[in-house]
Amino acid sequence: MGNSEKVSWKRVLILAGAVIAFTIGSGFATGQEIIQYFTAYGTKSLLVIAVFAVAFLYYNFNFAKAGAEQKFERGNDVYKYFCGKYVGTFCDYYSTIFCYMSFWVMIGGAASTLHQEYGLPQWVGAVILTVLTILTVVGGLNSLVDAIGIVGPIIVVLCIGIGLITCISDGGNIAAGLEVIKEGAYEGAAAGETIKNAGANWLISGLSYAGFVLLWFASFTAALGAKNKKKDLNYGIIGGTIAVCVAIGLVSFAQISNINTPMANGEAYVWNADIPNLILAMEIWKPFSAIFAIVVFAGIYTTAVPLLYNPAARFAKEGTSQFKILTIVLGIIGLIVGLFLPFRVLVNVIYVLNGYVGAVLILFMIWKNIKDFRAKRAK
């Protein structure tokens, strides 16, 4: 096809929207993920963003290319393509388990969001999300992609808006916030308590963030590669990455400028609240946080559906009674786990652990690229 291929900008926008929606789940919309992976490192959060962006573009281009050339039967076959039969099979099963564990994180996020904003008991948000997710998955997957494509960009625009307005109004506090992070002078911190972070330093955090998102994207991008024009998809990946990185940067600096800002009831601060972005929204305009909480909840829902669908579809055929029973059972187990483990702990343990597995996958990918390049040169 060469360079004569015409770009469909409408398609590029849809694909960028899908990339954004899939990257932004409960951890991102709530601000919890941004606190742990970016804000905790102060000015070095910019280096974390750079590491993430480079790794994210690299592996998504690789997945898209592999999907376009190999036309995999199942998206998950992309693991065997890059890692060989044994490691690939391990990654296939592991990513299925990880998607399910990420579903627990969504339950925790839903519970915390409605509790922090409206004072509802934790179980209310968790039960509402579980019921909605089970009903959607049992009903089939077609309507899902449309829902995801619409909600993702709305959240990114709102997060960029919150970040921008906060940075403009509180920009003068950024230096003081950076000093708080450097000195560890957090308001209301118990002895020895500090901000939760994702890794020992900014480099590990950036690789870990790119790594955990990789496990969501592998089969998804490979499938997109098989069904879309190469240029459209590549531009979509670039556009989605830029939008996500801009949102991360703005929200991170907004959090830094308000690092010791308390919740309305004084129970927690931006640095240790379950949903730090709600505090930022409330600082802008009190009624706005009540609206933003619903948007956060919608974002959690659009991510929870594919995360529950993936393990159910891996072990049962969509539409069968086995599939429906498995979905209900997995949903209820997820509800129980998500209610009993605190949200901050869920994000910290599950995402960080999986980030390291994803980072190992990137090494396999680099090795395969080098081997292919050498083989091409030898020809």
The pLDDT, as a whole number, for residue 19 is 85
The pLDDT, as a whole number, for residue 315 is 86
- The tally of domains found in the chain comes to 1
Q: Of 72, 81, 132, 94, which Cα lies nearest the Cα of 353?
A: 94
Q: What CATH number did the domain enclosing 142 receive?
A: 1.20.1740.10
Distance of CA 290 to the CA centre of its chain: 23
- Per-residue pLDDT band for 28 (boundaries 50, 70, 90) equals confident
Question: In terms of residue numbers, what domain contains 327?
Answer: 25-373
How far is it, in rounded angstroms, from Cα 32 to Cα 18? Answer: 22
Kindly report the CA angle at 378 between 375 and 379, in degrees rounded to 5?
A: 90
Burial of 226 (0-12, 13-18, 19+ CB in 10 A): middle
Quick: pLDDT tens for 112-132: 999 989 999 999 999 999 999
**Residue 86 amino acid letter:** Y
Q: Does a structural domain hold residue 115?
A: yes
Sign (positive or negative) of CA dihedral 221, 225, 227, 228: positive
The pLDDT, as a whole number, for residue 145 is 59
Q: Tell me the pTM.
A: 0.86
| 26 half-sphere exposure, CB direction, 13 A CA radius | 32
pLDDT beyond 70 at 12:
yes
Q: Does a structural domain hold residue 378?
A: no
Q: Does a structural domain hold residue 107?
A: yes
pLDDT, greater one: 87 or 153: 87
Quick: pLDDT tens for 155-210: 888 888 999 999 999 999 999 999 999 999 999 998 889 999 988 899 999 998 99
Quick: pLDDT tens for 222-280: 878 888 899 999 999 999 999 999 999 999 999 999 999 999 888 899 999 988 999 99
**Residue 361 amino acid letter:** L
335-358 burial: b if 16+ Cβ within 10 Å, else e = bebbbebebbebbbebbbebbebb
